[in-house]
Each structure stands twice: as C-alpha cells, then as structure tokens.
A and B are shown apart, each in its own frame.
Chain A
Amino acid sequence: EIVLTQSPGTLSLSPGERATLSCRASQRVSSSYLAWYQQKPGQAPRLLIYGASSRATGIPDRFSGSGSGTDFTLTISRLDAEDFAVYYCQQYGSSSITFGQGTRLEIK
C-alpha cells in the first residue's frame, strides 16, 4: 500500500497570499495518478487536480498541481476567502486507493 504524507498539517495564511501544500508518497506513484481534493465542513470532497497537474472541470486557474514520482505539490497562487478548507492528496494508480491525512488551510 502506498502511504501518502502531507505537510504541513495546518497552514495559516491571509487572503491574497500564496499557499504551497506538499504530498510525499512512500513509493513511486505510477503515471502520476495523483489527485488533490478540497473539503469544506459538511460537504463531500471536491476534485481539484488529477494526473498530478490537470485541473478538473470548473476549477479556477489559481489552483495548480505539480510533481512526479514521490513528491507532489498543490499551489494556490492567491488565496480567496472561499479557499480556506482541508485539502487531501490521493493516489489512484494502484489497486488500493489511498489518501493523505490532509492539510488544514486556515485564515491567519
């Protein structure tokens, strides 16, 4: 099973700032089958990025993903008030899907 470790656990930033979230895998993620999700309280996860760097339908271009192999990054270029939430990475390339433990993005 591929274990995903996200850092930091909590990120405190202000609207307009840049956010950089990290996801490290315990082994190579095949074909960059790595996704990022946003989750707000009481809601289902929302797909932001798939294939490590492709934005899902309707996702603003301030969200971008990068990385390959075992190290991946989600960047939010300029934080909007609606971006404060919990973010999860997920690998879906193996027979057993796994999620990171999440990064909480909070307003400073």
Chain B
Amino acid sequence: QAQLVQSGAEVKKPGASVRVSCKASGYAFNAYYMHWVRQAPGQGLEWMGIINPRGGTTTFAQKFQGRVTMTGDTSTSTFYMELSSLRSEDTAVYYCARGPDTVVVVPAAPEYWGQGTLVTVSS
C-alpha cells in the first residue's frame, strides 16, 4: 500500500523560501510521477506542478513558474517542493499526490495523497 508522509508545519516571513518534503513508501520511487497541490484556508484545491522522478523533469502551473522548484531524491525516496519569495497569499496546506505511471504514461487521477503540510507566511 502506497504511503506519502510529509514534513511538519512551517512558519516563514514574507520574502523567505520554504521546502516541503514528501517521503514515499510502499512502491518503487521511480515508478510514478508526483504532483504538488495546495489549498489556502477555506479555499479550493490548486495544482502547482508535477515531477517525473526518472530524470527529474518538471511541469509547473504558469502561476508558479520561476518561483517553484520540485526535486526527488532516489536514495531516500523523498520528493521536495521549494517555493521562494513567499507572500501572505502563499499561506496554505501543501499536498503531494502520486501521479501517473512513469513507464506507461497514461493520465491517472491522483489516488494517494500526503497528509498535508501547513505553511504560514506572516511577518
């Protein structure tokens, strides 16, 4: 059974960067893409981007281009999402969610999600 465990809550000042981790277990790390999705307090779900752990190629939502980095560490089966130049509007719960198979690349609805990481941006 796949499991995604994320890092703990963070409090950051405006202009800083934050890195959220997502440790994958129960499946082969390189076998599936990983999405990142966020949810501001009381708001809906917003897709940020996706990473292919085979080679590290990424696709980002236009809104986050230039401000987000997504990486994966095969040695620890851990994905990372870093968001820079934080502002108050970035206060949200950030989720990782397992994406499609990296070999047979057929679109797949994310079924496995991390528990979420609350990032608070406040001066």
Residues of A within 8 A of B (CB): 1, 31, 33, 35, 37, 39, 44-45, 47, 50-51, 56-57, 88, 90, 92-93, 95-102
Partner of B111, one of A1, A47, A93: A47
Partner of A99, one of B46, B107, B108, B115: B46
> Interface of chain A, helix or strand or loop or mixed?
loop
Is the CB–CB distance between A96 and B47 below 8 Å? yes
Q: Which of B62-100 touch A at CB < 8 Å?
A: 62, 95, 97
Q: A50-B109, A99-B44 are in contact. List 15 more A-B contacts (CB 8 A).
A: A33-B107, A33-B109, A35-B109, A44-B114, A50-B108, A57-B111, A92-B107, A92-B108, A92-B109, A96-B47, A96-B59, A96-B62, A97-B35, A97-B47, A102-B44
Q: B residues within 8 A CB of A99?
A: 44-47
Q: Closest B residue to A57 by CB, please name it.
A: B111
Residues of B within 8 A of A (CB): 35, 44-47, 50, 59, 61-62, 95, 97, 107-111, 113-116
Q: Closest B residue to A93 by CB, please name it.
A: B107
11 contacts between A and B (CB under 8 A): A33-B109, A45-B45, A45-B97, A47-B111, A88-B45, A90-B109, A93-B107, A95-B59, A96-B59, A99-B44, A99-B45
**A44 touching B113 in the complex, CB below 8 Å, given contacts A96-B47, A99-B45:** yes
